Homo-oligomer: A and B are copies of this chain.
């Protein structure tokens, strides 16, 4: 298969981890005779520094022209602590999601048997946990009208949703549930928010088309508690943008490290793959960032093009690295490997993997 992949390393540890997933994808192409073409572009704080814009138009063009986008991370503390900055790195990512119409953010979360001890949660609570979060990504309070009064004394953010936005994501989530344990949990705050009531109504209606899937509801406050008390209860989670942002970061504690969590953001014509961790500025350049979240995002990319066998080879290599403790310091305190070394190990495993061509 021929694929053109736009690579947007971004800020902080983004470039370091993305380098490893590109390496892994190259090993896959080599092993399975695919033609993957990679082209890099800037985004985020680094793009602001170079061009004044977090998402330069050349970067957006490249993404549109590519089959998929491999994204690193963005964000820089100098912008976080300057609430009056007019231009911020995150705008680059948000604009990219919106412009490419990436409405479905898919975040798989699972416990690895070999890493149970790394989780802050007791092993018996998480062993076997396996869920996937469907987060709406181009609507809600992220993209509603924002305003600040002339005198700077009041501000507002508008959260809006339409049945159209809810339905297209809900269909994907129901379909995913059909292929899994057939349970879908809608997380909302329907006892307070009008938009949440629209979600509940719309999803309840849609459920009739999926009689084999059992649907239940949780308020976000309760969900934030249940995610820790009993994460095994979740199969597929469906939720709006902001709640999905919160609950998926929280869910990262199940795997023992946020450095393991990958995500796919898909739309009608484009798809973007990124680790859920951020730019982690404190770790930048130290070679300690865990590349696995980015590498598993690359596996999701392959899945997206039905290269399931190839994706499986990556996942198997990741399992092995975890089993053999070839891990960065977040998962291996005493005898850890660098970002690069973990990438090298996975590359090696892939190159040596059996060829079922």
Distance, CA A193 to CA B144, complexed state (A): 10
B156 and A163 form a contact (CB under 8 A): no
State whether the Cβ of A225 lies closer than 8 Å to any Cβ in chain B: yes
Binds B, one of A22-30, A215-223, A346-354: A215-223
Residue of B nearest to A163 (CB): B153
State whether the Cβ of A158 lies closer than 8 Å to any Cβ in chain B: yes
- Give the A interface residue count (CB, 8 A): 65
From known contacts A157-B195, A198-B154, A250-B250, infer whether A190 and B122 are also in contact, taking CB-CB under 8 Å.
Answer: no
Name the residue in A162, A197, A217 with the highest tally of chain B Cβ atoms < 10 Å from its Cβ.
A197
Name the one of B121, B156, B161, B242 contacting A158, with C-beta atoms under 8 angstroms: B156
Minimal beta-carbon separation of A65 from chain B (angstroms) = 28
Binds B, one of A77-85, A262-270, A284-292: A77-85
Minimal beta-carbon separation of A67 from chain B (angstroms) = 28
Minimal beta-carbon separation of A161 from chain B (angstroms) = 6
Name the one of B142, B189, B194 contacting A155, with C-beta atoms under 8 angstroms: B194
State whether the Cβ of A159 lies closer than 8 Å to any Cβ in chain B: yes
Residue of B nearest to A230 (CB): B120
Residue of B nearest to A241 (CB): B192
Task: Give chain A's interface residues, CB within 8 Å of chain B.
Answer: 75, 79-81, 83-84, 88, 90, 94, 120-122, 125, 141-142, 144, 146-148, 152-164, 189-195, 197-198, 200-201, 204, 217, 220-222, 224-225, 227-230, 242, 245-250, 252-253, 258, 278
Beyond contacts A157-B194, A189-B245: 5 other A-B pairs, Cβ-Cβ < 8 A, are: A79-B191, A80-B190, A156-B161, A156-B194, A250-B250
* 25 pairs of residues in contact across A and B, judged by CB atoms under 8 Å: A75-B191, A80-B191, A83-B198, A83-B204, A84-B201, A88-B191, A90-B191, A120-B121, A121-B228, A141-B192, A141-B193, A148-B198, A153-B163, A155-B161, A155-B194, A155-B195, A156-B160, A156-B161, A156-B194, A158-B159, A220-B246, A221-B245, A224-B247, A225-B253, A250-B250
